[in-house]
Amino acid sequence: MTNVIYDKDFGQKNPELELYEVYREIKTDKDLRWDITRIPPQMLGKEFVKTKGNRNNHGFQELYTVLKGEAIFLMQKAKNGLIEDVFAIKATPTNWIIVPPNYEIITINPSNKKTLETGNWVSNKTKNIYEDIEKFKGACYFYTVDGWLKNKNYQKITKLRFEEPLKSEPKNLDFLRTEIK
């Protein structure tokens, strides 16, 4: 994680700091699994704590909800250091968000007082890809006490836009089972 946070000095001074826990396959629905991620309230120097960030291979989508606390889901579509699209969704319990095909997702706990817990449905046929986030030393934006700061390691970053979460869980999860090229 030291490589993908805004404050590299903080990361180097705290290499063993546990940032979040992931519990995989809490339940299943055929080829889908339900994971839970727990992100305690803490700061990474000036940056709010977050997940490393990844995308699913083969264009599989993912469905998230907030179980406890508040989340900011940052999603970006990148190619060779060029950000084609980037948006953030603020969500609270009972909200749902869909990660579009071929987007990277970073989950942020914007509170330094409350624990964030998220649940997500994802296909067992996909694998997490971290190398793009690692290569560019984080997502294209960092969420800090000073607001959103651009990651200067990207060649081009589009303007950050904000979207609204879904108010209810989709009734049919079959869209999560399909590869999208």
Superfamily for 26-170?
Answer: Jelly Rolls (2.60.120.10)
pLDDT value at residue 141 = 98
Longest pairwise C-alpha distance within the chain: 46
Q: What does the domain layout of the chain look like in residue ranges?
A: 26-170
Q: What is the mean pLDDT of residues 74-93?
A: 96
Going by pLDDT thresholds of 50, 70 and 90, the confidence category of residue 15 is confident
Three-state helix/strand/coil letters over 74-115? EEEEEECCEEEEEEEEEECECCEEEECCCCEEEEECCCCCCC
Q: Check: CB of residue 63 under 8 Å from CB of residue 103.
A: no
pLDDT value at residue 80 = 87
Measured CA to CA, the distance from residue 89 to residue 177 in angstroms comes to: 23
Distances (CA, A) of 17 to 11, 28, 43, 100: 8, 31, 11, 31
pLDDT tens digits for 146-179?
999 999 999 999 999 999 999 999 999 999 999 9
Measured CA to CA, the distance from residue 33 to residue 29 in angstroms comes to: 6
pLDDT value at residue 181 = 78
pLDDT value at residue 73 = 98
Give the containing element (helix H, strand E) for 26. strand 21-29
Phi then psi for residue 12, to 5 deg, are -70, -30
